[in-house]
Amino acid sequence: MGFTAASPAGRARAEEWLGLPASTALSDLAKLRPDLYFMCVPDGAVMDVAAELGAELRAGVEATPGADSPGDGPAADAADGLGLGPSAQRPVVAHTSGATPVSALLACEDAGVATLVFHPLQTFPEPLTGAARFAGAGVAITPGPADPDAAGAMGMKLADILGMRPFFLADDKRCLYHAAATVACNYLVTLEYLADELFVKAGVPEKVTLSLFLPLVRATLENLAARGPVDALTGPLCRGDAATVAGHLDALASDAPEILPAYRALGLATLELVAARHEVDPEVIARLHGLLAE
């Protein structure tokens, strides 16, 4: 196993986390001839790193007369040590970007390897506890066109080792999929930030706002997991309480006008769930829509 990073500081941090010495360049990793390369870099860097790695892989093949593929050689048993099974016919280069297509690895495919996107549907705010978050999480797998069977099998096997729930994702749907993940994860944080701001404006002590309303958020997530979004919905919209919603709008216009557009947009989106419950009269839903759309 080997690893590297773009900067000396990055390599030093990785060495501290992993307890192993880092390689100083991609060329050093390519010389190890592993069965699997993982490219965990920012989205905008994937294509550049793939071009650099592809050049190193091509140079390795040219320097090894008679080699059948970049994966043949003494490192072929490395994957066995990780429980990945026998060496594949081709090594696999994978990136972990949610929105970036597998075609960003074309330079590596041109060097004779299989390619793969392996995107965990999970959040990793810091690396030391990250390993515990793989188990039970989904992972979107998109094999490249050069050898999709080998790449897909490698991705599925790795997901199995990590205890993840793999699913295949079409390459042309990766951006839409990643937008969904952003709404589910990042924008949830934004919503709780806005809620925190409103609680403080309402007079709740700033030091305790999170501790007071996070139990409500946790209970909502538990209801969502147990019952699904339609049945988990509570609050004034699902009761058809137009007077309360009107009061919200007036209070926001007075004390937090910067949050009013977000409240309106989210309320309008929520009306779809309200309609799906079949508990509020359509005329009341229309009245709520009119309030929120003003």
pLDDT tens profile 64-122: 555 444 444 322 333 444 444 444 467 899 999 999 999 999 999 999 999 999 999 99
Beta-ladder partners of 168: 141
Token pair of 287 as six digits? 């009245």
Three-point CA angle 122, 128, 129, nearest 5°: 45
Instruction: Determine, yes or no, domain membership for 87.
Output: yes
Does 111 share its domain with 225? no
Does 47 share its domain with 132? yes
**Predicted local distance difference test score (pLDDT) of residue 282:** 96
Does 191 share its domain with 165? no
- Reported as a single tens digit per residue, the pLDDT across 176-221 is 999 999 999 999 999 999 999 999 999 999 999 999 999 999 999 9
Q: Which domain holds residue 50?
A: 33-170
CATH number at residue 97: 3.40.50.720
**Predicted local distance difference test score (pLDDT) of residue 114:** 95
Does 193 share its domain with 281? yes
Does 152 share its domain with 194? no
pTM comes to 0.84
* Cα–Cα distance, 172 to 46 (Å, whole number): 17
Residue 155's CB is within 10 A of a number of other CB atoms, namely 24
Instruction: Determine, yes or no, domain membership for 204.
Output: yes
Contacts of 274 (CB under 8 A, 6+ apart): 233, 237, 238, 240, 280, 285, 288
Residue 186's CB is within 10 A of a number of other CB atoms, namely 11
User: Which range has highest mean pLDDT (11-20, 49-58, 59-68, 72-81)?
Assistant: 49-58
**Predicted local distance difference test score (pLDDT) of residue 82:** 47
Smallest Cα–Cα separation from 52: which of 33, 22, 70, 26? Answer: 26
Residue 30 predicted with pLDDT over 80: yes
Does 222 share its domain with 150? no
